[in-house]
Amino acid sequence: MQQTNQPNSTIDIDSTFLLGCESDVSPSQVALGSSWMAINMLNLGGLWSCRPGYHCLATFPDGKLQGVARFHPVLGEEQILVAVAGRIYASSFPYIDFHVIEGLQFSPTAKQIFWALTTQAATRDTTDFASSISVIEPKSVLIIQDGGLSAPGWYDGSNSGHIKGNLYETPAGGPMAWVGDRLWVATDNQVFASDISNPFSFREQIYLGGVSSFFFSAEVTAMVPTPSIESPQLMVFTGINGSILQANIRNRDSWPTTPNFQEEVVQVGCLSNRSALSHYGQVVWFSPSGVSIYDPATSGKLTSRLPVRDNEMLVSKVVLSDDLSQVAAGAFGQYLLMSVPAEDTHNRHTWVLNHASLSTLSDESGPSWSGYWIGTRPVEWVSGIFAGQERIFHVSVDYDGKNRLWEAFNPNRLDNGCPITWALFTRGYFGTTSQTGKPPGFRVRFQWADFTVAGVEEDLDFGVFYAGGTSGAFKPIANTLIRSLRGSMDADTEITMESEIFAFKPQSRTIQTVDADQQSVLTSDGSAGVEREKISNIDRAFQLLVVGHGPCTLREIRAFSLPEPENPAGNPKAFCGESCLNAVRYDGLATKSNNFKSVVDALSDAPEAFYTSSKTVVLEKNGFKAIGIGFASSILSQAAADRVANIVATKRADKDLQAMLPPVTSVGLGLEHTG
C-alpha cells in the first residue's frame, strides 16, 4: 500500500552534499550540505558516490614492503619501482611484468626506501676533489637510499649500482629532493647539496657560516619542494618545525650573502617523509597534530598560524596509532589522499580531501573532506603521467600479509570487478541545522526517509538504518537489492562478428524506507530506560546510516517525522539517582540489570548486525577447471554478504581460468575486405 505522510508531517531534506564530512560535531549540528562521515565514498559536484575502484596489478614476494617510486626517463615510457626486503623491482607499462634490478641491494629491514628523481647533465672526469667537469646529454637518474643503512643506489632506466668508494660522492642518508638542479640529501640533522646538475658529486663546499652542511635543530624527517611562483624552493622538516631553503638560487657563491637563505617558517613538524607533498599550490604534510597545509605564496615566508585541517575526520583521528612515521600522502587531480594508521599499525584508513568540491571554473569552492577509504593498507602512493595518462598507484601490505601494487581511481567503481562496500553517516535530521520549521530542540517522532539514487550500473545491495541523535543503536528500516543489468553480453550468449554489443545506461531509483513509527519492536536496542526515556524513534534529531555494496550515487535524501508533544511538567525524579547497573555496547545496544554478570551476558550474547560469507565457485571451459574462493562481510544481511562473496569467488576463478586457457586467435572470418 502506498504510504502517505500525515498532513502535519515535517520534512527535512539534503539535496546537495558539497561540504563533505564533519565528524567533529554532534550529527544534529552538522551543517546543511554536510554529512557526518563517509566510508569508501567520494564527494563530487555535491553528490556522494561510491569511490572509484582499485585494480590489483602485482603481488610481490614476502618481506618488508619499503616503498614505490616512479622513474621517468628523458625519453621513453615511465617505469614503476617497488622495494621489498631491500630488493628493487622494476616494470614498464602495464606494470605487471616486474624484474629485480640487479646490482641494487638495500637493507632488508630498513623501515623505508627514499627516492629522488634527478636529471644529470654533468659528470666528473676523475674521482679526485679537483676533477674537471664534462657536460653530458641530460639523463634521468633515480637516487635511492634506505636511511643510511646502505650505500646510496642509482638507476637510470637500464644501468644501476651503488655509490661507494669515493669521498666526494653522494652521502648516505634519508629524505632527498631535487631542487634547483641540485640533489639535497638529509642525514640526521644535516642537509647536503650536490654540485649543480650532478647528483653524484658533492664537492662544492659553500654552505652558511663556513660549516660543511646546512644544520637543523633536530633530525630531518622530510623534504619537499615548494610550489613557489618564483622558482621551487625546498621545505625541510624536523619533528618540531619546518624551514625553507632558497634552493632555487643556482649561484652557490651567493648563498652565504642571501638574506634568510635558511629560515624557519612554521613551528609545526612532520613525522613522515611520505606524508609531505605539494598539492594545489600548497605544501601539505602530516604533523604530530594532524594534517597541516602551508601556502608559501601567501605566507610571504613568515611564520604563520597553522591550524590543523583535519578535525572533520575526528571519527578516524581518535583511533590513530601512536607511530605516525609511515603516514603516506598521494595526490590525484583535485584529490589529496592521506593514508593513516587508524585502528591498526598499518595505514588502514585513507583520508580523502577534495580540493574543488563544486566549482572548478571559478575556483570558488573550497576544499572538503570526502571521508575515508578502506580496502587496502597503503604504504606509499605514487602518481603522475604514466603511458600518457594521469594515474595513481599505491603499494599495500594487504590484510592477508601480502605485498601488492594497486592502481586507484578506476572509474568503474569496482575493486577488481567486485562490489565495493560503502557507507554514509548523515547529519542529524530535524536537528538544529534542519530545514524544517520545527522549534529548535523539540522532539519529533521519526517516520521514514527516501533516497534518490543514480548511477546504479549493476546489482546493488542498499540498506538504511536510523538512530536517535542522542543515543541508541542503528536500527534497520530498509534492505533491498536493486537489479540493474550492465550491458547486452552474458556468459551464455554466443558473440559473432554480427553481434551488436552495447552497454545499458546506469539506472536511477527513489528508495523509500519502511515507517519506523509502524515497526513492531521499537525498543529492541535496549536504549529506552538506559540512555533515554522515550522509545527509539522519538528524539530531537535522527541520524541515518546508508550502506551499499555496489556502484551508486546519492543525489537527495528526504526524512519525514511527526511532531512530538513535549511534557510541560518538571521531572519528579530529578533528585533521584539511577539504581540499576547500566551498560552500552560499541554499537549502541544497551542493557541494565542489578546483576553485573547479567549485564555482561546480555551484551555479549546479543546478536551483532554483522554477516560474513565464504563462497567457492568452480568454472570450467574446454576441459580446464578453475576454483575461486571469495569472502565478504556485510551489516545488511546474510544474503548481501553471500552475493558479494559469490562475485569475488567467480572473479577469482575467472582470472585463473583465463590464465590456463590457450589463447584464441581469430582467423579473420567476417572481416574480409568486401569493398
Instruction: Kindly indicate which of the ranges 57-65, 130-138, 565-573, 595-603 contains the residues binding other proteins, using the contact rule CB under 8 A.
Output: 57-65
CB of 375 to other proteins, least distance (A): 4
Q: Confirm if 23 and 427 have CB atoms less than 8 A apart.
A: no
Strand order from edge to edge, sheet including 349-354: 328-332, 335-340, 349-354, 368-373, 37-39, 421-429, 542-549, 460-468, 475-482
CB of 417 to other proteins, least distance (A): 7
Interface residue with other proteins, options 369, 474, 542, 560 (CB under 8 A): 474
609 near other proteins, judged by CB under 8 A: yes
Q: Confirm if 426 and 541 have CB atoms less than 8 A apart.
A: no
What cell does 559 get?
Answer: 526524512
526 near other proteins, judged by CB under 8 A: no
Write out the binding residues for other proteins, residues 383-402 only, by CB under 8 A. Answer: 398-400, 402
Interface residue with other proteins, options 285, 630, 640, 657 (CB under 8 A): 630
Q: Confirm if 161 and 143 have CB atoms less than 8 A apart.
A: no
The per-residue b/e assignment along 637-663, b for 16 or more CB within 10 angstroms, e otherwise, is beebbbbbbbbbbbbbbbebbeeeeee
**Contact partners, residue 150, CB within 8 Å, separation at least 6:** 86, 105, 106, 107, 110, 162, 172
Interface residue with other proteins, options 206, 610, 614, 660 (CB under 8 A): 610
199 near other proteins, judged by CB under 8 A: no
> Binding residues for other proteins, how many (CB under 8 A)?
94
Nearer to other proteins, 165 or 388 (CB): 165
Nearer to other proteins, 298 or 658 (CB): 658
Interface residue with other proteins, options 71, 155, 202, 332 (CB under 8 A): 202
CB of 162 to other proteins, least distance (A): 4
Write out the binding residues for other proteins, residues 148-167 only, by CB under 8 A. Answer: 148-151, 153, 162-165, 167
Nearer to other proteins, 162 or 534 (CB): 162
Interface residue with other proteins, options 48, 114, 154, 192 (CB under 8 A): 192
Nearer to other proteins, 149 or 535 (CB): 149
> Phi and psi for 299 in degrees, rounded to 5?
-80, -20
547 near other proteins, judged by CB under 8 A: yes
Write out the binding residues for other proteins, residues 97-156 only, by CB under 8 A. Answer: 97-98, 100, 102, 104-108, 148-151, 153
Q: Minimal CA–CA distance to 286: which of 323, 249, 244?
A: 323
Instruction: Say which DSSP state 374 is in.
Output: -
Cell numbers 622538516 correspond to 237
What cell does 272 get?
Answer: 613522515
CB of 403 to other proteins, least distance (A): 9
CB of 98 to other proteins, least distance (A): 4
205 near other proteins, judged by CB under 8 A: yes
CB of 223 to other proteins, least distance (A): 17
406 near other proteins, judged by CB under 8 A: yes
Q: Return d(Cα 155, Cα 158) in angstroms, integer.
A: 7
Q: Would strands 41-44 and 378-386 be described as parallel, antiparallel, or unpaired?
A: unpaired
Interface residue with other proteins, options 64, 70, 87, 349 (CB under 8 A): 87
Q: Confirm if 345 and 377 have CB atoms less than 8 A apart.
A: no
510 near other proteins, judged by CB under 8 A: no
Write out the binding residues for other proteins, residues 259-318 only, by CB under 8 A. Answer: 288-289, 314-315, 317-318
CB of 502 to other proteins, least distance (A): 26
605 near other proteins, judged by CB under 8 A: no
482 near other proteins, judged by CB under 8 A: no
Q: Return d(Cα 169, Cα 163) in angstroms, integer.
A: 7
Nearer to other proteins, 106 or 560 (CB): 106
Nearer to other proteins, 148 or 175 (CB): 148
Q: For the chain, first and last CA: distance in Å?
A: 62
Nearer to other proteins, 87 or 355 (CB): 87
Q: Return d(Cα 541, Cα 258) in angstroms, integer.
A: 60
> Phi and psi for 530 in degrees, rounded to 5?
-110, -65
Nearer to other proteins, 355 or 652 (CB): 652
Write out the binding residues for other proteins, residues 238-257 only, by CB under 8 A. Answer: none
CB of 299 to other proteins, least distance (A): 23
Per-residue x/- mask for other proteins, residues 422 to 461, rule CB under 8 A? -x--------------------------------------
What cell does 88 get?
Answer: 628493487
581's enclosing H/E stretch is strand 581-584
Q: Return d(Cα 636, Cα 647) in angstroms, integer.
A: 17
Q: Return d(Cα 509, Cα 554) in angstroms, integer.
A: 10
Interface residue with other proteins, options 72, 480, 588, 639 (CB under 8 A): 588
Torsion angle (degrees, nearest 10) of CA 556, 557, 558, 564: -160
Write out the binding residues for other proteins, residues 642-671 only, by CB under 8 A. Answer: 648, 651-652, 655
What stretches of 62-147 adopt beta strand conformation (E)?
A: 65-71, 79-84, 87-92, 99-100, 114-124, 133-145
Interface residue with other proteins, options 11, 121, 324, 481 (CB under 8 A): 324
Q: Confirm if 136 and 119 have CB atoms less than 8 A apart.
A: no
CB of 466 to other proteins, least distance (A): 12
